[in-house]
Amino acid sequence: MDLRDRWNRLLPRAQPLGDDLLARYAEQQRHYHDQRHLAEMLDTIDELADLAEDPDTVRLAAWFHDAIYDPKADPGENEEVSAQLAELELAAYGVEADRVEEIGRLIRLTARHDCEPGDANGAVLCDADLRILSLPADRYDEYSTGIRAEYAHIGDRDFARGRMKFLQGLSETPLYATSRARERWEEAARDNLTRELTTWAPRAARPVAGLIPMIYLGAALGVVIAASVLLGRGLGAAPRWPAAADEVRGFPVWAPIAGTAVSAGLACAWFRRRHPKLLTIPAIGFATLGVVAVGLCWWRWPAAQPGAAMSERWPYLMLASVALVLAGALLALARRLRMAPPYAVAPPRATGLGVVVVCASLLAWIVVSAGEPFVQARLETANTVSTTATAPPGVMPVQLDGELAWNRQVPATGAIAGTVGGVAELRPDGVVMSDATTGQIRWRYSRADVDGAAAAGSSGLLVSSDGRTLAAHLPYGGTRAPSGIDLPTYAVLDADSGKVLTEVHTSGTAVAVNSDQFLVAEGEYLVAHGVSNPTHWRAKMQCTVSQGVLLNDQAVVVDACGGNGAVVRGLDVTNGKQLWEANLGLRFDLSAELDPATWVGELVAIPDTREVAGLVWTSDAGGTLHQWSLDVTEGRVLWTAPVPGTPRPRLGPASCDAQLTATHSSLVLVTCRNSNEPGSAQTYDVSAVSPADGTSQWHHLLQVPPKLQRPEFPRQGFGLLPDGRVVTLMPQENGICSPVMIGTSGIQPRPIIANSSAAPTAERDALTCNKPTATVAGGRPIFSDGTRLFALN
């Protein structure tokens, strides 16, 4: 049946109107929107007629939907004027007003083909208008050629972009509204669209351009998953340290599961080509939620408070919020690129899915991994209080007359150490440097997440040979360390200014430091961390390194094993390569029963020489501590000297850790002898020998009362003055705690002389000898009795 007969059967009394419409569809500017297109639409409506509420009304709308067609018109203009023509003409031929109104509505619907669910007439008309998309390839090619001819007034490049945008918009949503059309024609239509998109895509971009939106989609999904993991870490952390057990909830597994589920849903929406809003709405939602969350985190960000450290909660929540903003931006960009003509050709589904999975996995891993350094940096910044000194330390003549220069109350103090910047105090949360001349605090370094630094004793402070560099051990103590975050366990500081030179996280033990390097023993490895230079190396030793010292060009260390094995090694400071070794086991009968860390004593560098000296304890003659000296140029032992009668190290309060110190002209040793009876005074050997050959310079026996007898007293309780004398605190017969000088003139108690400008006599007399510690800074003896710090002339 030809078109004229179809019209006459539809409106028998309107033949002139049918002739006018047929003439319109035969206009010269029409190359696709012609009578053939009209006939194909009417055939399709006949196939779907049982799905429409009023098939004839749909047919009339088809006759008028392209009655007026101008390729140069604005979008939707042709449909609007065609609808107005239909309403005018059909009303003139007596068609019912309700039907005319429905026909106008249906014609306007063909501008966007966005009929609502339940609109049966609209669904049939839209499916008929788009039936051309599913016709055989040769007919589809005629259709695409006709469209190009109708838009001949547009240049090739602009037409290609516009055509690809139109086709991509079609492919983003279901093409057909009725279930019958979707079942029969959807797949063929998509094949035609993909084929035409390929012809319009830039040739150079065709093989890979379609993967670009997939890459951004995968990145967005990966960031969503990473944000959920970071959110879980933040919610599982306690709000502050130290934290009660009920404040640490543990990692919530639901967070990453929810993030993965959301990502999977977005991927399904993408590959099933659902409505664009299914991707646009989450993109806007992620970005909005992330911005709000960033604001909340910024507002609730905890301020630093004494005794309360910020935990990893807020940095993780901040990072998760920023990740949400990034995810929204990436998802929006992926959606935008997918609509852009150069990237409109979709790759095979399996290839696209593989790219999305790989990119999502990679971005999730990168964001989560990058989050840990971010959190670590925020924790270090928030929990660290570091001040520096701008003025040099005070300089005054030291008279060594026993006058009290200054004293002040201090909180619980650990070890003290003399440096060029003054006296360093190891406190529970860090280090305080006081001026040796005035006692005023010059600078401080403390961490709110450290609470047990002072418990490390003398091993908590490590000072370089020149006194210019200080390494402080900052263990976490009772504070719970965050998972995956390597907070510093050592801070290397400039002793004069307090400037932080480097911070190191290690489970090992510091053995030496200077302004260039920081040496740490980690099991059988010796690790060098750069301080003022980027040098970093790791050298494997035969045994555990227990002692070390840094010279200008060498690192000299002692690594010892159980079973009569101790070797002194010289290592190149630039790369850790061994230069020489000296086996102490060949010279001494070392004990196989003890931990090497106990029978290998201190190692010191003799100033302005190429020599180092050390200590080794052996069990011969009831216990003998040996001194030895070694030339680091050749790695040759120069001399050894025994100190008989020394108790086995770390064996109860009667034993001790010997202290070995050096000046330009003396090696000074402080150690203890075997105690005759428990609870009685113990004899200490305090002696000096020549660094050149080990010959004795002076030797004295000091009686140490029981209250001072503890293994660490020789190391903590004695200080070496620049002239080679040793100073310590001892209770006298009158019960007053007084300094004692030991040197070539013997053992000389020096009662403290009150200085009214520094402290009244009552405060002087209140000084106690309860666990005293001593050091020398600026040539001045400085002591601590656990409650106060005081200095003498």
> For residues 627 and 694, is the Cβ–Cβ distance under 8 A?
yes
- What pLDDT is attached to residue 204? 44
Residues 457 and 373 placed together within one structural domain of the fold: no
SS3 (DSSP) at 511: strand
**509-513 and 500-504 strand pairing:** unpaired
How many angstroms separate the CA atoms of 125 and 63, rounded? 11
Helical segments of 593-656, H only: 596-599
How many angstroms separate the CA atoms of 56 and 121, rounded? 10
The DSSP call for residue 317 is H
Peptide bond into 242 cis (omega under 30): yes
- What pLDDT is attached to residue 480? 57
Domain boundary among 330, 360, 385: 385
Cβ-based neighbours of 736, under 8 Å, separated by 6 or more? 751, 765, 767
Residues 608 and 700 placed together within one structural domain of the fold: yes
Residues 237 and 276 placed together within one structural domain of the fold: yes
Q: How many CB atoms lie within 10 A of CB 330?
A: 24
Residues 616 and 702 placed together within one structural domain of the fold: yes
DSSP 705-772: -GGG--TTHHHHSEEE-TTS-EEEEEE-TTS-EEEEEEETTEEEE-PPBPBTTTB-HHHHHT---SS-
Domain boundary among 385, 414, 430: 385
pLDDT tens readout for residues 403-453: 788 888 877 667 889 999 999 998 888 899 999 888 899 999 988 888 777
> For residues 46 and 25, is the Cβ–Cβ distance under 8 A?
no
Residues 236 and 195 placed together within one structural domain of the fold: no
- What pLDDT is attached to residue 762? 47
Handedness of CA 261, 263, 267, 273 (dihedral sign): positive
> For residues 603 and 547, is the Cβ–Cβ distance under 8 A?
yes
Residues 586 and 672 placed together within one structural domain of the fold: yes
* Owner of token pair 């009685």: 680
Residues 35 and 182 placed together within one structural domain of the fold: yes
pTM of the model: 0.70
Starting at the earlier edge strand, list the strands of the sheet with 416-419.
384-386, 441-447, 430-434, 422-427, 416-419
For the chain, first and last CA: distance in Å? 125
Assigned token pair, 190: 């998509």
Residues 45 and 145 placed together within one structural domain of the fold: yes
The DSSP call for residue 74 is P
For the chain, list residues with pLDDT below 50. 204-205, 756-760, 762, 764
Amino acid identity, position 481 = A
Assigned token pair, 399: 């008279």
> For residues 448 and 304, is the Cβ–Cβ distance under 8 A?
yes
The dihedral region occupied by 341, where left means phi > 0, alpha psi between -120 and 50, and beta the remainder, is alpha
The per-residue b/e assignment along 621-634, b for 16 or more CB within 10 angstroms, e otherwise, is eebbbbbbbbebee
Rounded to 10 deg, the angle between the 313-339 and 349-383 helix axes is 150
Task: Measure Cα distances from 481 to 237, 305, 456, 699 in Å.
Answer: 11, 18, 18, 49
* CA neighbor of 222 nearest in space, from 262, 273, 277, 252: 262
Residues 674 and 600 placed together within one structural domain of the fold: yes
Cβ-based neighbours of 514, under 8 Å, separated by 6 or more? 464, 465, 466, 468, 469, 531, 550
Residues 720 and 762 placed together within one structural domain of the fold: yes
Write the CATH number for 677: 2.130.10.10
How many angstroms separate the CA atoms of 318 and 298, rounded? 8
Q: Give me the domain span that covers residue 188.
A: 3-200
Residues 451 and 513 placed together within one structural domain of the fold: yes
Write the CATH number for 74: 1.10.3210.10
Strand partners, 730: 738
* CA neighbor of 741 nearest in space, from 788, 781, 791, 784: 781
Domain boundary among 361, 385, 409: 385
Strands (E), 505-598: 509-513, 517-522, 525-530, 537-540, 544-550, 554-561, 565-572, 578-583
Starting at the earlier edge strand, list the strands of the sheet with 726-731.
718-720, 726-731, 737-743, 746-749
- What pLDDT is attached to residue 736? 76
* Owner of token pair 């991927």: 267
Share of the chain above pLDDT 70, in %: 88
Residues 590 and 651 placed together within one structural domain of the fold: yes
Domain count for the chain: 3
DSSP 669-702: EEEE---SSTTS-EEEEEEEE-TTT--EEEEEEE
Q: Phi and psi of 761, rounded to 5°?
A: -60, -35
> For residues 526 and 560, is the Cβ–Cβ distance under 8 A?
no
> For residues 489 and 505, is the Cβ–Cβ distance under 8 A?
yes
Amino acid identity, position 209 = A
* Owner of token pair 């639901």: 254
H or E element in which residue 422 lies: strand 422-427
Q: How many CB atoms lie within 10 A of CB 371?
A: 26
Q: How many CB atoms lie within 10 A of CB 562?
A: 15
* CA neighbor of 218 nearest in space, from 60, 135, 330, 368: 330
Task: Classify residue 668 as exposed, middle or buried by CB count within 10 Å of its CB (0-12, 13-18, 19+).
Answer: buried
